[in-house]
Amino acid sequence: MAALPCTKDEGAILHFGIPRAKYKENEDARNSLYGPRDVRFEEREIPKIIKPTDAIIRTCATCVCGSDLWPYRGINAIPQPTPMGHEYCGIVEEVGSAVRSVKPGQFVIGSFFASDNTCPNCQVGYQSSCQQRELVNTAQAPLVRVPMADGTLVATPAVPSNDLIPSLLTLSDVMGTGWFAAPDTTRVTSEFVASRKCIGRNRK
């Protein structure tokens, strides 16, 4: 992957073959999947702050997730045109009146599920199962509205260099998926070992 310096004038998008120049010229557009191998870059309403907890970010990089390939290849049905993109990072453009943890100009990494980070599920580390969660799935676009910005967006200390942005993008989905998998694997293994020991004792 590659990305350009992430400024208002030079945002970069990783996408299904849509020329980057089009993203720069069309802030009111995004990628949508219409059917197997049918991706369209089309006009949509420019994202705006709807709730005071929202933020608008200008994407520096997005990517295609493995889960995007199921409908793209026709393995999963596509009942209607579907917006694309749930892995993203970029610069904060605007925040709602209730947002406290991020501010315009900061580089942020977002999650595919927006979360409040305060509910019981979030407090034990399962933000993707937040009781208020909302799927962020319009990230293959120049601008993205992110709900519950305080619980969803993580700011870096400074705007990263161009060559670091693709690595930071992995924190949006891949790293979190792996992080959750590791504790679950440990738990399942421990339960399996315990059950085998119990069965062994019962056989004696």
pLDDT averaged over 10-residue windows placed end to end, the chain, 204 residues: 44 45 62 92 90 96 87 92 92 97 96 94 89 93 95 95 89 76 61 50 50
Task: Tell whether 94 and 191 lie within a shared domain.
Answer: no
Which pLDDT value is given to residue 105?
95
- CB under 8 Å to 192, separation ≥6 — which residues? none
Task: Tell whether 130 and 191 lie within a shared domain.
Answer: no
Three-class DSSP category at 144? strand
Which pLDDT value is given to residue 21?
52
Three-class DSSP category at 88? strand
Closest CA to 117 of 139, 103, 105, 100: 100
Work out the number of other CB atoms within 10 angstroms of the CB of residue 54. Answer: 22
Inside any domain, residue 10 = no
Task: Tell whether 168 and 190 lie within a shared domain.
Answer: no
Inside any domain, residue 110 = yes
Task: Tell whether 127 and 190 lie within a shared domain.
Answer: no
The range of the structural domain enclosing residue 192 comes to 180-204
Paired tokens of 185: 């694997």
- What's the whole-model pTM score? 0.78
Task: Tell whether 146 and 62 lie within a shared domain.
Answer: yes
Contact 100, 63 (CB under 8 A): no
Inside any domain, residue 9 = no
Task: Tell whether 192 and 110 lie within a shared domain.
Answer: no
Which pLDDT value is given to residue 30?
85
* Distance (Å, whole) CA 109 – CA 87: 9
* Distance (Å, whole) CA 62 – CA 190: 37
Which pLDDT value is given to residue 196?
47
| Count of structural domains, the chain | 2
Task: Tell whether 114 and 203 lie within a shared domain.
Answer: no
Task: Tell whether 188 and 101 lie within a shared domain.
Answer: no
Task: Tell whether 86 and 113 lie within a shared domain.
Answer: yes
* Distance (Å, whole) CA 142 – CA 188: 41
Task: Tell whether 161 and 133 lie within a shared domain.
Answer: yes
Task: Tell whether 190 and 112 lie within a shared domain.
Answer: no
Which pLDDT value is given to residue 132?
96
Which pLDDT value is given to residue 184?
62
Task: Tell whether 34 and 78 lie within a shared domain.
Answer: yes
CATH label of the domain that carries residue 125: 3.90.180.10
* Distance (Å, whole) CA 21 – CA 13: 10
Three-class DSSP category at 147? coil
